[in-house]
Chains A and B, each alone.
Chain A
Amino acid sequence: MREYEYHAPQSFESLFRLASADGVEVRFLAGGTDLMPRISAERNQIPYDKKPRMRIVYLGALGLDNVTEEGERITIGACCTLSSLLENEVVKTKLPVLRDALAEMAGVSIRNTATIGGNIMNASPAADSVPPLLALDAECTLRSASGERRVFLSEYFTGPGKTVAKPDEVLVSIAVKPGRGGSSFKKLGRRKAETLSMVNAAAYLELRDGICESIRVAVGSAAPTVVRCIDVEQALVGKKINEEVVREASLLVTKAISPIDDIRSSAWYRVRVAPTVVARAVLTAAERKRG
């Protein structure tokens, strides 16, 4: 059985010392709702392969659980639990698209544990927090011993479970500008609550006199990563937004996606429902802007 060691560093200096070690597999732990079941499953298997010691580094003691506002920019600490964000006034009033997603993620007890940073770093194509953040053109801040860097979320994911973050880099926060537009998130799961998305989508759009001035659409659970739907966006810019136009444009989502068959849905079904989910997100976003 491989060995495990746990650390809860109180400062970034000790965190980075722990993170740069040879011969151990370093795993950062935020809420644990993804990592712990994996560790528990591993600990129930016959250990045929020799695996290096796993060093579990807890991020919960580093004060990464705040939401701050600076001018237009809202910065969300990576260790904010999904529940704390749902209860947060800034999120409630200024980031309705994120709130939509948070309210539909997992169930209450998982939301009480899971963090937004964990949802991003887990890099699941079905992560519900990602399409809203992508629609808001969010920027991630990564910190390592050599300093900080910022990466747009649109360039953050490189594949299922994979990100640009290096093994010794920690996601510390996600920043967004809410903008003047309307936004919305829609999800289709196998049931209403405590379910993973078969397809999800988020939209942000700015309207002037009913004409779409700018728009960002993101769709999840339909490609190796959550993706922006540039074709849908281009088809809508400059158009008067109504149901027919949006439904027509949403069909172009199939150009952006490459779904697979998995336990939650089939590729066949995903291709057919993705336009509907996208259209619902765009129409609700437009509705909110008008309303």
Chain B
Amino acid sequence: MSQILKFYLNGNPVQVAAGDADTLLDVLREGLGFTSPKCGCNHGDCGACTVILNGYSVKSCTVLALTAEGKNVCTVDGLADGDKLHPVQRAFHEYGAPQCGYCTPGMVMAAVSFLNRNPSPTEDEVKEALSGNLCRCGGYKKYVQAVMATARGEFGPLPEGSVGNV
């Protein structure tokens, strides 16, 4: 069975048919064609599908789509302000963190959600925050360096307000 699901995607109201047991990841990728959240394991382990739901990073493969009714979902597509990248995106790019890049959208969203809550973290806190996002190329060190650089303000201030919040 399927039902009509209405929510806000990157600030825009959307409605889409969602299967009763579909995950939020299924609906974003298959229903709405937003392929930036990736499916790496479909098991809540790899973090490639991380999006921000009502201000909190979640692994969208563990979220039943219909529970997002009326909520705010933010994917990496909604981060940039026109051509102006979010500081975390700039940092990842300038530090050369992505290799194959498949984990990157999830890694960006996990980092953005974390920095919203903890703008001046220690390196250990950053590592802990990214621990649910796997990178098989082994780019962890540069991802951590890039988040620390963002926190130091190397790429400008974080945008006002929490991303994807109500």
User: A and B touching (C-beta < 8 Å)?
Assistant: yes
Q: A3-B1, A8-B67, A113-B62 are in contact. Are A108 and B21 (CB under 8 A)?
A: no
A109 touches B110 (CB 8 A): yes
A40–B129 Cα distance when bound, in Å, is 26
B59 touches A109 (CB 8 A): yes
**A191 contact set on B, CB distance < 8 A:** 131
For A83, give the chain B residue with the smallest CB separation. Answer: B56
A112–B8 Cα distance when bound, in Å, is 19
> Scoring B residues 121 to 141 as 1 if CB is less than 8 Å from chain A, else 0, what string do you get?
000000111011100000000
Q: What class of interface size applies to chain A in its complex with B?
A: 20 to 34
A191–B134 Cα distance when bound, in Å, is 13
Does A212 have its Cβ within 8 Å of any Cβ on chain B? Answer: no
Q: A39-B21, A112-B53 are in contact. List 15 more A-B contacts (CB 8 A).
A: A3-B1, A4-B20, A5-B1, A6-B1, A31-B62, A32-B62, A36-B23, A37-B61, A54-B21, A56-B20, A107-B47, A109-B132, A110-B62, A113-B59, A193-B128
- Mark B residues whose CB is within 8 Å of A: 1, 3, 19-21, 23, 42-44, 47, 50, 53, 56-59, 61-64, 66-67, 69, 110, 113-114, 127-129, 131-133
**B114 contact set on A, CB distance < 8 A:** 108
Q: A8-B69, A32-B64, A56-B21 are in contact. Are A40 and B43 (CB under 8 A)?
A: yes
> Scoring A residues 98 to 128 as 1 if CB is less than 8 Å from chain B, else 0, what string do you get?
0000000011111011000000000000000
A8–B43 Cα distance when bound, in Å, is 23
**A41 contact set on B, CB distance < 8 A:** 42-43
